[in-house]
Amino acid sequence: MVNNNDKRMTNSKRSCIFKAFLEKLCGDNKEYRRKTEMLSDEESRKKYIIKMQNRNKKRYIILLIAAALFALIFSLQNAFDEPEFVVENGRVTGIRRPYENEKPVTYRLGVFESGKAAGEITFAVNPKIGSDNSDFKENEKNERENRLAQTKNTADDAKREKERKLRLECEKIAKNLTASTDGAFLVLPDSFADGSPLEFREIKGNSAIVYFLALTILSFFIIYSARYKGVENDTKNAREDIEKELPGFINTLVLLLEAGLVLSSAFERAASARRNTPGFKSYFYEQLVLLQEKVTATNSSFVRELTVFSGRSGVREFVRVCGIIADNIELGSELSGKLSAESELLWHSRKKSVVEKGHIAETKLTLPLMILLLVLILVTIAPAMMEM
């Protein structure tokens, strides 16, 4: 019984740790609540938070699936590829030649003299033709002897002379291997010209795996760092939508009030008429309609709900308008006059905001225009420079 309880407690702890880790990756609930405070009420906000967390989970799942597919393809490719090297006790003793219809393949191998690394050798393996180019080998031999003779006449010390000889020997081996076209497999030599042991070892290039791991890790951190980006964009767009739609809404409200409607009826008609426009989508009007539905369903105060919405939005102009409505709701014509004056200020602020955005757009276009100008200058002076 005790063991069962311990197992349950252990499983419960593991489950809590996993949930906390998953919440950290997809977005902390407290941080989401703080960032989505202006978007909607508590009930709608919970659904929105779950939606954003699920979106982040999908991104991680897609990344993991892509990584697994790449690893599977890479493994299958290595498993089904025909072996290129003949390896004995870690030494490469031969290389499969390309088929007759294939191009020469370049290889890079590590050279070891008496078990010690002596450098690297790069050569091309040609398809089988049936000739081993003995004349070419003889010419290379004479050339090597001449170069070795020149090396002996230098005043370098013994170590440097040995290194040069080794380098020349490796160059000669590489040229001979490249020139060889006989046999289905290219047999690598096992000793230098002086009889010292020679080994070739494969240099395993894992650059593709390294790049893939780096790309996977980078993608993971991009997803992690952008887990709140969608919320921030929605919040920014909602605030901009309120600032954009508020002047027109106040104008409509003033016209309806001056036509003789009471504030609640004018508000309902202004909100629903704009929202029912085909193809029109606005956060501001959607929230106003939801507010009106809540007031109708709960019989709560219209002004209080509107004030709560304005405070939640954080838009100063909207808060000021709600303050005017709350202070002058019983004054009739005076409310209409004050809202009309406020509407003029809002339109002026909106025009100013549009001008500022235009200046920002011009600033962003400066760099592309500079690049275009530079290209035009280069195209203009290129013929003159070519004739010089």
Measured from the Cβ of residue 143, the count of other Cβ atoms closer than 10 Å reads 14
The answer to whether 199 and 112 have CB atoms below 8 angstroms apart is yes
Task: Determine the angle formed by the axes of helices 263-275 and 283-298, rounding to 10 degrees.
Answer: 130
Q: Is 123 exposed, middle or buried (0-12, 13-18, 19+ CB in 10 A)?
A: buried
pLDDT of residue 365: 84
Distance of CA 169 to the CA centre of its chain: 48
Output the six-digit token pair for 232. Answer: 């921030």
Please tell me what DSSP assigns to residue 277.
S
Digit-by-digit pLDDT tens for the chain (388 residues) are 445 666 666 666 777 777 777 778 888 888 888 887 777 777 778 888 888 888 999 999 999 999 899 888 877 876 665 556 666 666 666 666 676 666 777 766 767 766 676 667 676 777 765 444 444 344 444 544 554 455 444 445 566 666 666 666 666 666 666 666 665 556 666 666 666 666 666 566 556 778 888 888 999 999 998 888 888 888 888 888 888 888 888 888 888 888 888 887 888 888 877 666 666 788 888 888 888 888 888 888 888 888 888 888 888 888 888 888 888 777 666 777 888 888 888 888 888 888 888 888 888 888 888 898 888 888 888 887 777 6
Residues 6+ apart with CB under 8 A from 160: none
Spans of all domains in the chain: 2-79, 85-208, 231-367
Answer for the pair 176, 140: CB distance below 8 angstroms, yes or no: yes
